[in-house]
Amino acid sequence: MANETASSFSPTFTIGGDLTINRMGYGAMRITGDGIWGPPKDHDESIRVLQKAVELGINFIDTADSYGPHVSEELIAEALHPYPAGLVIATKGGLLRTGPNQWPINAHPDHLREALEGSLQRLKLDQIDLYQLHRVDPNVPFEQTLEFLQQVQEQGLVKHIGLSEVTVEQIKKAQEYVTVVSVQNMYSLDNRKWEAELEYCQEQNMAFIPWYPLSAGNLRATEIIGQVAQKYDASPNQIALSWLLHHSPNILLIPGTSKVKHLEENYRAASIQLSSEDLEVLSNL
């Protein structure tokens, strides 16, 4: 994929033709307890993080009914409702929680209906701007899940629909039922397994939202990222996030944290302008 030049990446992206958001967003998974289970250790700091995100100009917050479960959505409403104009809250359904770090899949329409109704209630919304299927369920015909998503969109409960951890073939299948506006797959500077999906999304003008956007632990990559970071007086994490913004204009970032200081560090990555040479070095990792 051709990279944009260092000085030209757009700071915004428009989802679904009508939701223009800043590409540096916030992922609200980490404002829960250990194992993404139960309430956070520091409730007040979690509230401050959410409020600070909006103060900084972040207008895209990504969550899910399964974070906590329910805790993340409840905290978002507590911290930010009534929501400022232009704030897009994306949530997801399709996973069950049976304990810390346990995520069984359930994308049966009955479960999704319950999850969606719960999300609307917790977030104090009449309509979810972006509702994402958290996972394709191997035990439920994909068509059934897609028919459900089509139905709730027609009912006005959901404005736009996204998918998570899907292949190009699955995206194309979903497009037979709904307009897919975003894909959230695992992706980072040193984990590009889903490059074909990213490219397909760019062609289709769909947002691509990498989860786990920071280094996957490749030692050589870590060393090179560290060398580039020194040039910009930045942290390796900031460089990894900046590279994603430069790499493709449809990438939206949702790094998560439960600390205001860390949130501010992540946000600063959006102002780092990588040179063409450094972009090339990083892209060739």
Average pLDDT over residues 264-279: 95
**For all residues of the chain together, what is the average pLDDT?**
95
Q: Of 67, 131, 187, 267, which is the active-site residue?
A: 67
Q: How confident is the model at residue 8 (pLDDT cuts 50, 70, 90)?
A: low
pLDDT of 266 > 80? The answer is: yes
Residue 220 pLDDT: 81
What span, in angstroms and rounded, lies between the C-alpha atoms of 48 and 38? 18
pLDDT digits (tens, 9 = 90+) for 46-64: 999 999 999 999 999 999 9
Residue 214 pLDDT: 82
Residue 85 pLDDT: 96
pLDDT of 278 > 70? The answer is: yes
pLDDT digits (tens, 9 = 90+) for 180-229: 999 999 999 989 999 999 999 999 999 999 999 886 667 788 899 999 99
What span, in angstroms and rounded, lies between the C-alpha atoms of 183 and 168? 10
Residue 1 pLDDT: 36
Average pLDDT over residues 233-253: 96
pLDDT digits (tens, 9 = 90+) for 89-107: 999 999 999 999 999 999 9
Residue 107 pLDDT: 98
Q: What are phi and psi of 186, to 5 degrees?
A: -70, 130
How many angstroms from the chain centroid is the CA of residue 61? 8
pLDDT digits (tens, 9 = 90+) for 147-192: 999 999 999 999 999 999 999 999 999 999 999 999 999 999 989 9
Instruction: Name which residue leads in pLDDT, 118 or 285.
Output: 118
Residue 222 pLDDT: 87
Residue at 112: amino acid letter: L
Average pLDDT over residues 263-284: 95
Parse the chain into domains and list their residue ranges: 12-283
Q: Which residues have CB under 8 Å from 211's CB, separation 6+?
A: 27, 164, 184, 185, 186, 187, 254
pLDDT of 121 > 90? The answer is: yes
Q: What fold characterizes domain 12-283?
A: TIM Barrel (3.20.20)
Has 267 been annotated as catalytic?
no
